[in-house]
Amino acid sequence: MIKLEKIKLNNNVIECILFPEDSREGCILKYNVLTGDWECRLPDGYEYCKTHVAMACSYLRNNYKQGLPDEKLIMWY
């Protein structure tokens, strides 16, 4: 599970605050929709959550053309 907050699209880069799992500390996620490149430094102790970042990028890539909400909770099983 991840929570994305303050989602903003600026030119071709989507920037938001990503909260992995149960972390109270967020990190900045920058995702370039043209290249698929992303930048995110996960909080200490959550380095194993790279799959979470990939899930967030997948959501952003698949939904940015329709418009993105300010916040999004993404869950999977």
pLDDT digits (tens, 9 = 90+) for 20-65: 988 999 999 999 999 999 999 999 999 999 999 999 999 999 999 9
Residue reference for tokens 């940015």: 64
pLDDT for 42 equals 95
In the chain, the amino acid numbered 16 is C
Question: Is the pLDDT at 16 greater than 90, yes or no?
Answer: yes
Using an 8 Å Cβ cutoff, are 76 and 23 in contact? Answer: no
Mean pLDDT across 55-76: 95
Q: How many whole angstroms separate alpha carbon 14 and alpha carbon 10?
A: 6
Q: Is 43 helix (H, G, I), strand (E, B) or coil?
A: coil
